[in-house]
Amino acid sequence: MLLILIHWLKTIGIHTPAVFSYCSTRMILAALTCLIITICFGPKFIKKLYSLKIGQSVRTKEECPYLAKLHFDKKDTPTMGGILILFSMLFSLILWMDLSNIFTWIFIFTTITLGLIGAIDDYLKLKHKNSVGLKAKRKLFFQLMFSLIIALYLNSSLVQEFVEKKTSIKPPVAKEYIHNKDTLSAKKMYSRIYFPFFKDPLFSLKGFFVAFSVLIMMFVIIGSSNAVNLTDGLDGLAAGCLIMVSFSLALFAFLSNHVDLSRYLNILYIEGSSEIAIYLVALSGASLGFLWYNGHPAQVFMGDTGSISLGGIIGVASILIRREFLLAIVGMIFVVEAISVIVQVLSYKIRKKRVFLCAPLHHHFEYKGWPETKVVLRFWIVGLFWAIIGIASLKFQ
């Protein structure tokens, strides 16, 4: 919206300071906008949730006796706080991002679609007053359909040509400065697999094997969405980790938008990736503002409305900048939390024994007697460590 306003002012002879069109300026403004909205509107929003009796359901004594005892005080704490996060991010998007950029519209589609899936899940939990919500198979089906649409668009030249002809939105293009300066089409760019600490793409998929690239994209989106959802079990844990992960990815997106910097760092130059950086720092700002009320003792939870959508957003962002494996590094906490659940389930089905006292992993440490605040703080420290490792891959490659 700001860029449209600046362009309109130029057409009538009014010149605005060039600083407002810079990516770095809009990143700062986007983060501040989300931070201010979440903090300022937080009290009224929480009060409204209380009046609507939108309270959190905790695991029953039959499901997990000790955990039910530990989290008894959390019962009826307002949930669906993700609505406030997503509202601030979309408001910031409309205000500061380039509405003619394809990445902007991908994020709009991602935020609304996954936000609705999460909202339906939260609504069913509230309606039936349990912690089940949307059935796992049905939730996975919706996530599969969404991720398939994103993956097919990025890998299909036919779909891209249709969008380009019907709208003024251009598909993304890139340049690779490692070997040459040839322009890469979106289809060619998204068929390449990159890995942190390596300059060259590990391999490029062609022909029938492009389907493997589609599967990778779907796995990343679904995996990150559900991993954040599983991590959101303690006050401030998911929000704090999201700040570090989204900021790390934003740095890569920002550097990928600059020809000279991408050439110097031997990374892919992606035209317009600055919009990805803007949305990711907006996510950081929104999560930081939400943490004001979500920190222990939490006054509100983000619920599946927030965790499913925010996890999906960082998954989509990592795909757009070709940093899927980087997401696994900077988001190591999310990865380990998800793996702990998978290992626990498989171990119980095969061996009839549990590996952890309780899954996800943060509950295991609660069972060992760690206070909730200690678990969260130490997970943040570990998350920061892996975020630094991920950022260091820029120089050590």
- Phi/psi of residue 265, each to 5°? -90, 0
pTM of the model: 0.93
Strands 269-270 and 174-175: antiparallel
**Distance in angstroms (rounded) separating the CA atoms of residues 165 and 149:** 19
**Rounded Cα gap, residues 291 and 302, in angstroms:** 10
Residues 107-135, mean pLDDT to the nearest whole number: 89
Q: What are phi and psi of 234, to 5 degrees?
A: -130, 155
Q: How far apart are the first and last CA of the chain?
A: 38
Q: How confident is the model at residue 64 (pLDDT cuts 50, 70, 90)?
A: low
pLDDT attached to residue 179: 46
What's residue 182's pLDDT? 59
Q: What is the mean pLDDT of the chain?
A: 89
The pair phi, psi for residue 204, each rounded to 5°, is -120, 125
Alpha carbons 42 and 178: distance in angstroms, whole number: 47
Q: Does 57 score more than 90 pLDDT? A: no
Domain boundaries, the chain: 25-392
Find where tokens 């007053």 sit: 129
Instruction: Write phi, then psi, for 199 (nearest 5 degrees).
Output: -70, -45
pLDDT tens for residues 352-362? 899 998 889 99
| pLDDT tens digits for range 149-184 | 999 988 876 566 666 666 777 777 777 665 455 567
